[in-house]
A and B are shown apart, each in its own frame.
Chain A
């Protein structure tokens, strides 16, 4: 399965600032996703990162707050903008591999963000 490198692994940021999280995959993948895991909670899909076009955001998430780039099939970034303490979460990158009835989802190790 694909190996995902996610950076940074953790950060402490001041409110009002922005943080960009990078996701690098060791192989070309069509489907890339960004998730948020708030403290003690499950994973919530933020958006699907589309190569060469704008990301597709889930309800409750907007591009101005979570801009996403996907310049090629192996790399994506998620920016958390104008941060507040409520943005303190783990952010995870994920890729879908395989097709038809045999695909799976692989996750990066996550970025633990604390906003103070």
Chain B
């Protein structure tokens, strides 16, 4: 069975500081990996996705993520956070021939001035 672990329930960073959100997955074949953001009262927005190729993926809003097969990880990074980045972030996994998208438990990001 596929699963996603986001070890950090809540992270607080200062505005302008760098950010890394952790994601570990379990999947029996080649995974397809996604990061979504959910702002308060909003739907889910896709930040980036990885299917194959370059393991460093660039997304919207200045986010990037790196796929590390040896560590079963797909961590999300941003060099300098803005107050508007405060939201809930979800990592998710599916795979070839598998229609289901499985989500992690999410990481709530708080930005302090």
Contact = CB atoms under 8 A, between A and B. Distances in A.
A42 B34 contact: no
Interface stretch (A11-19, A61-69, A76-84, A96-104): A96-104
B44 A42 contact: no
Interface string B69-113: 000000000000000000000101010100111111110000000
Interface residues of A, number: 21
Contacts of A101: 32, 51-52, 96
Interface in B33-66: 34, 36, 42-44, 46, 49, 51-52
B101 A94 contact: yes
A41 B34 CA distance: 18
Given A104-B49, A106-B46, A108-B43, A42 B99 contact: no
Contact of A31 (B46, B90, B99, B106): B99
Contact of A104 (B42, B46, B106): B46
A44 B105 CA distance: 10
A116 interface: no
A33 B101 CA distance: 9
B25 to A, nearest CB: 14
Given A101-B52, A102-B51, A110 B43 contact: yes
Contact of A107 (B32, B44, B106): B44
B49 A42 contact: no
Given A42-B104, A42-B106, A105 B90 contact: no
Contacts of A33: 99-101
Contact of B99 (A43, A96, A109): A96
Contacts of B94: 105
B101 A45 contact: yes
Given A31-B99, A105-B34, A42 B105 contact: yes
Contacts of B96: 101
Given A101-B51, A101-B52, A102-B51, A45 B44 contact: no
Interface of B: 32, 34, 36, 42-44, 46, 49, 51-52, 90, 92, 94, 96, 99-106
